[in-house]
Every structure is written in structure tokens, then in C-alpha cells.
């Protein structure tokens, strides 16, 4: 239990200050409770001794009132500190995970890892948000108040104090055993929560496939298994708790009975006054209530620590080395020197070497899976090379910080992702300080101003997650507007006009021409008009550069590029 509490404080980070404050106020709560007990004692004494007048009644009332006010004031502050710590440490953890995953290789992100990350960022950390304040309130308040009461009872009469110590000791031993037993089951329960979120996410994302193949009701095996796993793990955890929680209640009931019995015995043998006897009988129903509250918190403490362990896992993913400096290179020539790269065990690039001179355009062509996109991703340092090096401006890209490197690169992908935000904010994503006028100018140059203005709220229109409310061509144009606004010296275009309708293609080609003026351009392209104008064409096949040159040079000789061009021309001229 002590380790679990320590883990919770360690997890809280900067919020540990608030937890320490809550502990301080928890002690004050315990003192307030004992002041209340003192007031009750004076009332009992006044009744027994039949003291006349109103003074004793008022004195007792004021003492009880003082105890209530002290306890309420301290408990309110204690709960506020605990609640603040619980919610803010969850928020801080989400931010820390988000910051960390920006620095890990893109190869980590696949369907399984994305589902686990989503489950961790939502369900797991939501458990921490919900459980942490409740556990801290019950655990801290219960333990501190019960210990303060125990100390006071020891001072009052060590015999009762010894009984309380034995009862609470046995109770805590049972709680500790329950917490240790749950170590094996609680992580499974948290794992089942993550797997359930992952399965549901995958099912929803693939709903179009499910419907198109009429698999409704038959293709949900993964979700069914995830639900069963979640049900079984929750049932096992509850079944584990039952005998321990029953034992805890029995121990506290026996403790209450023992204090009452001792009070009567000590009174009958003349070692305890009537006032103290009545006081201990009343206290016997109250002293164990707080330790009972702490015990109920211990039952879910392991769930909380399992959630924290799960939430810490993403930050243990090895991140890319980012020990570079914030260079802002004046030249942006790019060079690959004997680069080898593999996805897990599959080698994708094999001893690649080439140079892209500053302020020139290079087209990369090749068959599907040949390594074209991988080359662009290595320039952007989405991954690190296995061997060899990639340089920009004469410096290894590892010598740049990731922030400095990406500030000099703009990328336009074939598959565009837009955020659930306004169109203006999506265009400003890489240039948050841009003005509205800057956004409009970029949108006009990217040929998307017309359709944006036709929307009900114009540039303030909220688009769905991933840009689901827009067509593929509209998303593509917004992506290009984003790159135009960022105005980086290096531009990477991955089939940037693939999803653009013919009516806007010419306008976009002009926009891309403006975007790429006096810049270093790398483009993955299949369209002849895009490839033809490049200063240099790299032909990639099976992870190797098999040919290079300009369009005229490559088309004049037999090879993969010539076959590629002839095939494209034949396809473009094909008619029904």
C-alpha cells in the first residue's frame, strides 16, 4: 500500500505539492473531529453531574461547533487540493504523452499501437481522473483521521488505544493482502479496457467495409472477444475483492463490540468513570468509520496504480535522438550518403546515394513499394536511417532539432488529414501567427477560396474530423494552402494533385509553381506533366536508384523510366 501511495505521488509530478497540502489539511480534519469528541464529552459530563445553569450547555455547544467548523474548513481545502491534483495530473499526463509521441519514429504507429494509444489517452487516463481524487479523499482523510483519533485514545486510556491499534492493524493487513492479490488481476482489467476501445475504434473506422460486404452481425468477432475479455477481467477483480471486503467489515464490527465490552467491564470493575464509559461507547461507533473509508479506497488503489502504470507506458517508447541544435540553414541542398533503411526486418532502401541541389526540383518515380515515400519520410526524419546519413545544407539532419528541421520543410501528402476545427485554423496549422488576410491569400493561390466562401460560415466553418465533410479534392487544396502559407524553403509533394478534379488542376499547377519558386523541391509523381518539368528525376526500383537524369535523357534510353512514360501515355490516350 505504501508503495502504491508513493507511486501515486510520483505520478502526480508537479501536483505532488497539492497532495502534500491535502495531507496537511487532513491532519487538521482529524484534530477537528477530536474537538467534536471533546464537546460531546463535556455534554455527557454535564448530564451526569447535573450541573445547573446554561453555561455548560453553551460551552459544550461552542466546542462542538468549533470542531465542526475546523473539520469542514480543512476537509473542504483538502478535497479541493486532492481534486485539483487528480484532474491536473491526468491532464498533464495527456500533454506529456502527446509531446512524447511527437518524438518517436513513425514506424511505431500502426493499427494496434494507435488503438492502444487512444485507449490510454481516453479510458485509462479517464480512470485516473475519476479514481485519483476519490482514492486520495477517502484514503488520506480516513487514514489521517483514524491515526489522530488513535493517538488521542492512547493518551486518554492506553487500554482502548491498544484495542484500536490491534483492530486497525488487522484491518490494514487484510487490506494490504487484498491490494497485493489484485496486482495480477487489476492490470488485466486495464488491458481489457484498452483492447475494448481499440476494437470499437477499428470497427467504427471499418464500418464502410463491413456494410459493403454485408458482414453486419458476422464480422464482429473481435468486438465480441474484447467485450468478453473485459467482462471476465472485471468479474475476476470483483470476485477477488468480495472475501476481503467481508473480512474487513467483520473485523471492524468485532472491534466496535470489543470497545463496548471493554467500556462496560472497566466501568463495572471501577477503573473507568461513567462519563468515560458513555463516551467510549459513543466513540466505538465512530472511531472505525474512518479506517473503513480508507479500506474502501484501498480496494480500488490497485486499479489506480494499474492505470498509472499503463499511462506511463507510452513515455517508455524509445524516442528519436533530438540532441541537435536549432540551425536555420541558408542553403537547402539535400544529400543521401549510402543510406540503408528497414521497416522492422524488411529492408526497403539499399545503399541509396544521391544529391538534390539547392533550389532545384527532383521527381522520384518508381513502382509501388519501391521506396519513394520512404525517401521523403527520411528527409523529414519520420524515421532514422539504419546506416549512412541524410544531410541538408551540409549538416546531418540529426544535428538539427526536430523543430528546427520541420520548420524548414513543408509537406503535401496524397492522403490529407484535417482536424476537427475551422477551415482557417486548418490552413494556419503550420503558421499559427498568420493573419486572416494571409490565410485568404494562400487559399486563393491554392484555388480553394471559391468553395470556402460558398460555405455557410466561410473560413469559420467547422469541418469534421479528418475533413470528412469535404471532398478529396477540397481537402487536397486546403493542404496546399497550408503549405503555401508556411512558405518553407524545402517542399515535399507526395502526389499533391492526385485527388484534384480536372477543373481545378490547371489552377493548382500554377499554385504549386508559385509555391515552389526558388525552393528545393522533392516530388513523388506519376503524371507526365509533373515529371517532365523536373530538373532531376530519380528512378527507384526495389529500394535502389536504378537511373537518374532529366526527362529527355531518361526517355531517350531503354529502361524503367521509358517504360513508365510509355505506359502512362498509353493509359491517358485510352478510350472506351
Each residue's pLDDT tens digit, 321-335: 666 676 677 788 999
| pLDDT attached to residue 72 | 86
pLDDT, tens digit, 9 for 90 and up, residues 146-194: 777 788 788 778 888 899 889 988 988 888 788 777 777 777 777 787 7
pLDDT at 336 over 90: yes
Gap between the Cα atoms of 576 and 59, Å rounded:
103
Nearest to 232 by CA among 195, 283, 276: 195
| pLDDT attached to residue 1 | 61
pLDDT at 460 over 80: yes
| CA pseudo-torsion sign 514, 520, 523, 529 | positive
Gap between the Cα atoms of 150 and 519, Å rounded:
76
pLDDT at 379 over 60: yes
pLDDT band at 341 (very low <50, low <70, confident <90, very high): very high
| pLDDT attached to residue 53 | 57
Q: Is 394 helix (H, G, I), strand (E, B) or coil?
A: coil
Q: Where would I find the H helices in 471-559?
A: 472-486, 502-515, 528-532, 551-555
pLDDT at 51 over 70: no
| pLDDT attached to residue 335 | 93
Q: Which three cell numbers stand for residue 67?
A: 470542531
pLDDT at 371 over 80: yes
Q: How far is CA 224 from the centre of its chain?
A: 26
Phi–psi pair at 163, nearest 5 degrees = -65, -45
DSSP-derived secondary structure for 52-102: -SSHHHHHHHHHHHHHHHHHHHHHHHHHHHHHHHHHHHHHHHHHHHHHHHT
Q: What letter does residue 462 receive in the DSSP assignment?
A: B
pLDDT band at 372 (very low <50, low <70, confident <90, very high): confident
| CA pseudo-torsion sign 419, 421, 426, 429 | negative
Phi–psi pair at 539, nearest 5 degrees = -100, 120
For residue 32, the tally of other CB atoms under 10 A from its CB is 22
pLDDT band at 488 (very low <50, low <70, confident <90, very high): confident
As a whole number, mean pLDDT of residues 531-557 equals: 86
Q: What letter does residue 318 receive in the DSSP assignment?
A: P
Sequence-ordered list of residues with C-beta below 8 angstroms from that of 306, at least 6 positions apart, any chain: 186, 187, 189, 190
As a whole number, mean pLDDT of residues 27-45 equals: 80
| pLDDT attached to residue 219 | 53
Neighbour-count burial for 145-159, b at 16+ CB within 10 Å, e otherwise: bbbbbbebbeebbeb
| pLDDT attached to residue 63 | 82
pLDDT at 218 over 60: no
Q: What angle do CA 100, 186, 179 make, to 5 degrees?
A: 115
| pLDDT attached to residue 254 | 92
Q: Is 362 helix (H, G, I), strand (E, B) or coil?
A: strand
| pLDDT attached to residue 321 | 66
| pLDDT attached to residue 339 | 93
Residue 385 CB-density burial (10 A; 0-12 exposed, 13-18 middle, 19+ buried): buried
Domain ranges of the chain: 2-316
Rounded (to 5) percent helix, strand, coil in the chain: 65, 10, 25
Q: Which of 27-41, 209-223, 252-266 has the lowest mean pLDDT?
A: 209-223
Q: Where would I find the H helices in 380-494?
A: 402-406, 423-427, 436-445, 449-453, 472-486
Q: Are 120 and 314 in contact (CB under 8 A)?
A: yes
Average pLDDT over the chain reads 80
As a whole number, mean pLDDT of residues 523-537 equals: 78
Q: Are 379 and 386 in contact (CB under 8 A)?
A: no
pLDDT at 511 over 80: no
Q: Are 382 and 104 in contact (CB under 8 A)?
A: no
pLDDT at 453 over 90: no
- Percent of the chain whose pLDDT exceeds 90: 7
| pLDDT attached to residue 81 | 82
| pLDDT attached to residue 527 | 66
> Beta strand 334-343 with 346-356: parallel, antiparallel or unpaired?
antiparallel
- The winner for highest mean pLDDT among 42-46, 80-84, 372-376 is 372-376
Q: How far is CA 494 from the centre of its chain?
A: 29
- The winner for highest mean pLDDT among 78-82, 291-295, 349-353, 402-406 is 349-353
For residue 545, the tally of other CB atoms under 10 A from its CB is 20
CATH class in words for 2-316:
mainly alpha
Q: Are 26 and 140 in contact (CB under 8 A)?
A: yes
- Percent of the chain whose pLDDT exceeds 70: 85
Q: Are 152 and 67 in contact (CB under 8 A)?
A: no
| pLDDT attached to residue 555 | 83
Q: Are 430 and 482 in contact (CB under 8 A)?
A: yes
Gap between the Cα atoms of 335 and 244, Å rounded:
66
| pLDDT attached to residue 454 | 86
pLDDT, tens digit, 9 for 90 and up, residues 92-114: 888 888 888 877 776 666 555 66
Q: Which three cell numbers stand for residue 488?
A: 518553407
| pLDDT attached to residue 494 | 80
Gap between the Cα atoms of 369 and 512, Å rounded:
26
Gap between the Cα atoms of 62 and 55, Å rounded:
11
pLDDT, tens digit, 9 for 90 and up, residues 111-134: 556 667 777 887 788 878 777 777
More confident residue, 417 or 220: 417
Report, in angstroms and rounded to the nearest whole number, the Rg of the chain calculated over CA atoms.
35
Amino acid at each position: 500500500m505504501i508503495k502504491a501511495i508513493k507511486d501515486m505521488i510520483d505520478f502526480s509530478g508537479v501536483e505532488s505539492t497539492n497532495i502534500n497540502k491535502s495531507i496537511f489539511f487532513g491532519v487538521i480534519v482529524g484534530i477537528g473531529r477530536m474537538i467534536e469528541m471533546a464537546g460531546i464529552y463535556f455534554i455527557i459530563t454535564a448530564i451526569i453531574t447535573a450541573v445547573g445553569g446554561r453555561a455548560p450547555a453553551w460551552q459544550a455547544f461552542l466546542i462542538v461547533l468549533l470542531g465542526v467548523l475546523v473539520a469542514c474548513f480543512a476537509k473542504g481545502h483538502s478535497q479541493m487540493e486532492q481534486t485539483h491534483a487528480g484532474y491536473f495530473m491526468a491532464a498533464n499526463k495527456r500533454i506529456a504523452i502527446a509531446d512524447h509521441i511527437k518524438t518517436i519514429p513513425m514506424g511505431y504507429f500502426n493499427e494496434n499501437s494507435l488503438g492502444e494509444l487512444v485507449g490510454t489517452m481516453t479510458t485509462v487516463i479517464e480512470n485516473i481522473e475519476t479514481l485519483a481524487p476519490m482514492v486520495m479523499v477517502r484514503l488520506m482523510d480516513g487514514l489521517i483521521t483514524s491515526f489522530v483519533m488513535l493517538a488521542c485514545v492512547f493518551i486518554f486510556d492506553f487500554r482502548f488505544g491498544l484495542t484500536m491499534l490491534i483492530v486497525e492493524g488487522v484491518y490494514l493487513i487484510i487490506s494490504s493482502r487484498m491490494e497485493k492479490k489484485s496486482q495480477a488481476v487489476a492490470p488485466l482489467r486495464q488491458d481489457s479496457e484498452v483492447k475494448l476501445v481499440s476494437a470499437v475504434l477499428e470497427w467504427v473506422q471499418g464500418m464502410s467495409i463491413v456494410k459493403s460486404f454485408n458482414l453486419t452481425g458476422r464480422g464482429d468477432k473481435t468486438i465480441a472477444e474484447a467485450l468478453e475479455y473485459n467482462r471476465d477481467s472485471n468479474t475476476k477483480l470483483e470476485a477477488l475483492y468480495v472475501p476481503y471486503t467481508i473480512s474487513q467489515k467483520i473485523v471492524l464490527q468485532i472491534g466496535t463490540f470489543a470497545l463496548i465490552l471493554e467500556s462496560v467491564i472497566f466501568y463495572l470493575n471501577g477503573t473507568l468513570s461513567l462519563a468515560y464509559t458513555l463516551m467510549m461507547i459513543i466513540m466505538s461507533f465512530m472511531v472505525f468509520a474512518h479506517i473503513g473509508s480508507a479500506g474502501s479506497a484501498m480496494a480500488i488503489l490497485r486499479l489506480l496504480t494499474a492505470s498509472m502504470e499503463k499511462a506511463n507506458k507510452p513515455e517508455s517508447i524509445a524516442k528519436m535522438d533530438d540532441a541537435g541544435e536549432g540551425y536555420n540553414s541558408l542553403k537547402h541542398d539535400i544529400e543521401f550518403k549510402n543510406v540503408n533503411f528497414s521497416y522492422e526486418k524488411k529492408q526497403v532502401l539499399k545503399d541509396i546515394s544521391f544529391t538534390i541541389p539547392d533550389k532545384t526540383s527532383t521527381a522520384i518515380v518508381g513502382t509501388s513499394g519501391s521506396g519513394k515515400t520512404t525517401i521523403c519520410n527520411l528527409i523529414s526524419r519520420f524515421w532514422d536511417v539504419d546506416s549512412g546519413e541524410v544531410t541538408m545544407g551540409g549538416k546531418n539532419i540529426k544535428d538539427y532539432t526536430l523543430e528546427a528541421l520541420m520548420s524548414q520543410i513543408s509537406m503535401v501528402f496524397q492522403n490529407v488529414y484535417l482536424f476537427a476545427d475551422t477551415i482557417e485554423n486548418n490552413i494556419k496549422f503550420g503558421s499559427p501567427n498568420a493573419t486572416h488576410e494571409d490565410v485568404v491569400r494562400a487559399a486563393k493561390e491554392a484555388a480553394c477560396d471559391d468553395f470556402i466562401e460558398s460555405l455557410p460560415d466561410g473560413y469559420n466553418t467547422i469541418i469534421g474530423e479528418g475533413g470528412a465533410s469535404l471532398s478529396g479534392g477540397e481537402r487536397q487544396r486546403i493542404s496546399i494552402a497550408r503549405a503555401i502559407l508556411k512558405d518553407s524553403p524545402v517542399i515535399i509533394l507526395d502526389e499533391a494533385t492526385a485527388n484534384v478534379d480536372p477543373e481545378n488542376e490547371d489552377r493548382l499547377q500554377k499554385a504549386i509553381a508559385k509555391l515552389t519558386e526558388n525552393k528545393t523541391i522533392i516530388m513523388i509523381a506519376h503524371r507526365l506533366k509533373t515529371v517532365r518539368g523536373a530538373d532531376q528525376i530519380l528512378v527507384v526500383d526495389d529500394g535502389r536508384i536504378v537511373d537518374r537524369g532529366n526527362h529527355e535523357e531518361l526517355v531517350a534510353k531503354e529502361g524503367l523510366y521509358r517504360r513508365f512514360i510509355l505506359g502512362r501515355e498509353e493509359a491517358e490516350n485510352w478510350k472506351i
